[in-house]
């Protein structure tokens, strides 16, 4: 295995220089350079000694000399030149390792480590405390007689210098009489002294024993007896049966070695590596020793020429198999400061999905400043990951049940902890996942029904207006107060300007953007807000379980700045969330496993490179506790507003219409049963500003909430063909109107 080191490189350089000095027929560098320049220009070499009359320079490119004969063009010089960084430059450019480990410099990571230590020792203390009386003391009592015998026999052996016996015997066998006599004399001296000490010791023990039996008080007797029993019990412990068992058992994690990595890399199906290993080489080059990094091992590797990190990421499961580790432990990554072929392979001690619930860094915080990054989760190496919110929009996507709402909840709680942030929450799934935060929301809706979707669409229309108001307001601000024409903490805190941060969340936004009636306009509004709202303190967080072009307009997916993609099914969904070419570049959320990897996703835009993050998890009670803290904060500074104060929401002025009344208007009494496609066409004619683009299925879904079911209806097409299509019965519309009006009257 070849590991680079500076000495080797220096040695190679010196050796090359010495070789150059010893060669009489070196290439003239100036000529060589001009030859190379000529060759690079692809012009014929006009110099009579273009190639030199000595050692022909080695080249792979053919070129023509003056005589027109083909000869290799000069590309590589046989001697080292002054080009390339010198040794000093290399030393200057070398990476300095952190003096203080990063976890000690980061307050949350340091706190985490200390908390772990305290927890570990507290657990150990309790474990042994419970066993002291139930296990350890009985064991010592049982072992005490054996300990007494062992102690007496040890004293006896010591008194007669039994340990020197084998040596004396050996010398006697070798007939080394001189040494034997020396050892015997030494033994005699020792035995005399030890016998005397043993006698004195025995006498003192006897006196102490008599005193304890006849003269000492009961407490002293008890303590002495306890100490004797425990002491002899300790001495009587068999070597293979320790008194106590371990309070914690460390999982044995195999150390990652270079050989393991080479073998694994050779097995993933990359031709260059496999063939190099087959020929006895390594195929890959380690650029630094494999080291411990967080709770795992890190190997920095140069891949063969032409192989990229994406090629390896593509084969992550094979690599995990090659390393004999669970998939969730193996994380091939790029090094943002290096070339495309530099692989940082991190192999964790345990599967990321087995990390359990990650505690949110702000769980116990009193408040947060939205102008600082919101803690979001941890990466596989256990490093804290956060998301900048101000000047950003966030898109979250995944298959159902992979942790979108949980991720959104973390961001919503981060914003709620800053009392200056106005929260507009829309959860169009109707499961109440964000209900805990309703008490601090300026606008709030939870539901999948048309009214809830209409409310969310209305929010976007209002936000659009708000963005325009803010743009005008910020334009008027004095230059010294707002030099960059964007919201700052200082501006946000001037409440009279009404330019505080505004976070609008749209969970399950596919139900809004794909809505037959509100979807198109909502998509346009969202795109407008994403493009212009960033600098004006308006942030959108959109979460979808259906990332396709109908449910997520490309104007939105193309313009968001932060993307979080949990498990998705395929490349198209992956790139819709993480951006074009993400899949090609090895950023593949398809690799996450359904359910097992819930909460794990690729986070792009929050750092220099997309990285895997396991989000912090806030369950219902934890979210409620944070919401109550956020409520108290808002009450204290007087920023509670809108829905949270029970105020009726403002509405966007626009055309009002009544769908059922419109349907009745276009259905003559003579038509008892009508196809939905015909209703759609007539509605469009009646009110194009509302019904433009409607198809039969739009009519189906719009009438469904009113209890009007579609059914197969026989009819005749415009060209006279008899057929059956989906349609409604006029009487059902009359009944729906009657029921609605009856309810309204009752109320």
Ligand X SMILES: Nc1ncnc2c1ncn2[C@@H]1O[C@H](COP(=O)(O)OP(=O)(O)OP(=O)(O)O)[C@@H](O)[C@H]1O
Residue list, annotated binding site for ATP: 398-405
DSSP strand E in 19-166: where?
Answer: 62-64, 70-72
How far apart (Å, rounded) are the C-alpha atoms in residues 140 and 131? Answer: 12
Structure tokens at 294: 């967080």
Residue with tokens 């969904």: 573
> Per DSSP, which regions of 522-677 are E strands?
538-544, 562-565, 600-604, 611-615, 673-675
In the complex, what is the shortest distance from the CB of residue 363 to ligand X, in angstroms, rounded to a whole number? 13
Burial of 189 (0-12, 13-18, 19+ CB in 10 A): exposed
- Between 429 and 515, name the residue whose CB sits nearer to ligand X: 429
Beta carbon of residue 233, minimum distance to ligand X (angstroms, whole number): 48
For 320-437, strand residue ranges (E) read: 330-334, 342-348, 374-378, 384-387, 394-397, 422-427
**Minimal distance in Å, beta carbon 456 to ligand X?**
16
Separation CA 645–CA 508 (nearest Å): 26
Distance CA 599, CA 404 (A): 8
Closer residue to ligand X (CB): 428 or 698: 428
Residues 632, 633, 637, 639, CA torsion sign: negative
Q: How far is the CB of 296 from ligand X (least distance, A)?
A: 19
Instruction: Determine the residue with CB nearest ligand X.
Output: 599
Q: Do residues 445 and 456 make contact, with C-beta atoms less than 8 angstroms apart? A: yes
CB of 512 to ligand X, least distance (A): 14
Beta-carbon contacts of 60 under 8 Å, excluding residues fewer than 6 positions away, are 72, 75
Nearest of 107, 86, 79, 74 to residue 22 by alpha carbon: 79
Nearer to ligand X (CB atom), residue 402 or residue 557:
402
- Show Cβ contacts of residue 191 under 8 Å, excluding neighbours closer than 6 positions: 159, 160, 161
CB 34 within 8 A of CB 292: no
Complex with ligand X: residue 392 or 429, whichever CB lies closer: 429
Q: Which residues are annotated as a binding site?
A: 398-405
Bridge-based pairing state of the strands 422-427 and 441-446: parallel
Is the separation of the CB atoms in 325 and 274 below 8 Å? no
Nearer to ligand X, 357 or 438 (CB): 357
Q: How far is the CB of 621 from ligand X (least distance, A)?
A: 14
> CB under 8 Å to 95, separation ≥6 — which residues?
none
Number of helices and strands in the chain (H, E): 26, 20
Q: Shortest distance, CB of residue 704 to ligand X, whole angstroms?
A: 21
Nearest 5°: phi and psi at 554?
-65, -25
Are 50 and 35 in contact, with CB atoms under 8 Å apart?
yes
Nearer to ligand X, 536 or 565 (CB): 565
> Hey, what are 95's tokens?
């990476």
Instruction: Locate 335 and state its tokens.
Output: 């090094």
- Residue (407 or 462) nearer to ligand X, CB: 407
What is the residue-wise DSSP string for 550-586? TTS-HHHHTT-SEEEE---SSHHHHHHHH-TTTTTTT
**Residue 270 contacts by C-beta under 8 Å, 6 or more apart in sequence?**
303, 304, 307, 311, 312, 315
Q: Are strands 600-604 and 611-615 parallel, antiparallel or unpaired?
A: antiparallel
User: In 293-354, which ranges are E strands?
Assistant: 296-302, 330-334, 342-348
Give the shortest CB-398-to-ligand X separation in angstroms.
Answer: 5
Q: How long a stretch of residues is the chain?
A: 747
Q: Where does residue 488 rank: exposed (0-12), middle (13-18), buried (19+ CB within 10 A)? A: middle
286 within 8 A of 2, measured Cβ to Cβ: yes
> Residues interacting with ligand X, by CB under 6 A?
357, 398, 400-406, 429, 545, 598-599, 614-615, 617
Residue with tokens 């939905």, as numbered in its chain: 676
**Closer residue to ligand X (CB): 591 or 733:** 591
Q: Residue 371 Cβ, how far from ligand X at the closest point, in Å?
A: 25
Q: Min. distance of Cβ 614 from ligand X in angstroms? A: 6
Q: Compute the least distance from the CB of residue 351 to ligand X, in Å.
A: 13
Helix axes 659-666, 730-746, angle to 10 degrees: 150
């Amino acid at each position: 295995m070849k590991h680079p080191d500076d000495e080797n490189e220096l040695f190679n350089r010196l050796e090359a220089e010495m070789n150059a000095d010893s060669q009489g027929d070196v290439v003239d560098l100036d000529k060589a350079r001009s030859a190379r320049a000529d060759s690079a220009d692809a012009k014929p070499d006009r110099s009579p000694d273009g190639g030199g009359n000595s050692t022909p320079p080695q080249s792979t490119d053919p070129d023509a000399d003056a005589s027109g004969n083909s000869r290799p063009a000069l590309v590589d010089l046989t001697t080292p030149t002054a080009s390339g960084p010198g040794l000093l430059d290399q030393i200057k450019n070398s990476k300095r390792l952190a003096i203080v480990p990063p976890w000690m410099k980061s307050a949350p990571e340091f706190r985490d480590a200390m908390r772990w230590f305290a927890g570990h020792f507290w657990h150990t203390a309790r474990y042994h405390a419970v066993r002291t009386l139930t296990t350890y003391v009985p064991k010592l009592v049982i072992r005490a007689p054996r300990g007494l015998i062992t102690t007496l026999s040890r004293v006896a052996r010591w008194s007669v210098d039994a340990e020197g016996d084998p040596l004396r015997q050996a010398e006697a066998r070798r007939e080394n009489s001189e040494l034997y006599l020396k050892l015997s004399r030494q033994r005699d001296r020792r035995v005399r002294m030890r016998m005397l000490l043993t006698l004195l010791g025995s006498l003192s023990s006897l006196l102490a024993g008599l005193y304890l039996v006849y003269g000492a008080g009961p407490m002293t007797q008890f303590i002495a007896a306890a100490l004797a029993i425990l002491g002899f019990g300790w001495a009587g412990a068999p070597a293979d049966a320790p008194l106590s068992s371990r309070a914690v058992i460390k999982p044995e994690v195999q150390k990652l070695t270079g050989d393991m990595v080479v073998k694994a890399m050779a097995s993933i199906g990359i031709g260059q590596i496999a063939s190099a290993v087959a020929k006895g080489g390594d195929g890959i080059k380690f650029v630094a020793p494999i080291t411990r990094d967080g709770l795992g091992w890190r190997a920095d590797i140069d891949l063969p020429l032409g192989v990229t990190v994406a090629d390896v990421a593509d084969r992550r499961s094979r690599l995990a198999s090659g390393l004999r580790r669970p998939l969730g432990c193996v994380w091939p990554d790029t090094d943002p400061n290096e070339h495309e072929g530099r692989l940082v392979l991190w192999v964790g001690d345990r599967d990321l999905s087995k990390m359990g619930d990650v505690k949110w860094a702000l769980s116990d915080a009193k408040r947060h400043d939205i102008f600082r990054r919101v803690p979001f989760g941890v990466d596989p190496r256990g490093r804290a990951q956060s998301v900048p919110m101000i000047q950003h929009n966030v898109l979250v996507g995944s298959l159902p049940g992979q942790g979108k709402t949980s991720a959104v909840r973390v961001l919503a709680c981060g914003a709620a902890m800053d009392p200056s942030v106005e929260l507009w929450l829309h959860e169009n799934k109707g499961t109440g996942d964000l209900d805990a935060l309703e008490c601090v929301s300026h606008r709030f809706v939870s539901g999948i029904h048309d009214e809830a979707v209409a409310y969310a669409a209305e929010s976007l229309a209002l936000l659009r207006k708000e963005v325009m108001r803010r743009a005008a307001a910020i334009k008027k601000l004095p230059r010294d107060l707002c030099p960059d024409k964007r919201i700052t903490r200082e501006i946000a805190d001037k409440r009279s300007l009404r330019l505080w941060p505004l976070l609008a969340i749209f969970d399950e936004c596919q139900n809004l953007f794909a809505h037959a009636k509100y979807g198109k306009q909502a998509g346009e509004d969202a795109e407008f807000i994403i493009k212009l709202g960033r600098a004006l303190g308006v942030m959108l967080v959109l979460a979808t379980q259906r990332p396709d072009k109908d449910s997520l307009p490309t104007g939105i997916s193309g313009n968001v700045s932060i993307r979080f993609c949990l498990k998705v099914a395929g490349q198209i969904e992956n790139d819709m969330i993480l951006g074009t070419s993400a899949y090609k570049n090895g950023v593949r959320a398809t690799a996450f496993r359904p359910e097992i990897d819930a909460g794990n996703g690729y986070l792009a835009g929050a750092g220099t490179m997309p990285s895997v993050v396991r989000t912090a998890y806030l369950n219902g009670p934890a979210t409620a506790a944070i919401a109550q803290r956020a409520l108290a904060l808002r009450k204290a500074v007087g920023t509670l507003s809108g829905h949270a104060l029970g105020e009726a929401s403002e509405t966007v002025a626009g055309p009002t219409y009544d769908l059922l009344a419109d349907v009745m208007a276009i259905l003559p009494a003579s038509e008892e049963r009508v196809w939905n496609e015909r209703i759609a066409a007539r509605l469009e004619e009646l009110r194009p500003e509302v019904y433009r683009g409607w198809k039969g299925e739009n009519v189906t879904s719009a009438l469904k909430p009113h209890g009007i079911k579609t059914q197969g209806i026989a009819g005749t097409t415009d060209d006279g063909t008899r057929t059956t299509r989906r349609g409604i019965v006029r009487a059902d519309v009359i009944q729906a109107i009657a029921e609605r009006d009856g309810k309204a009257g009752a109320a």
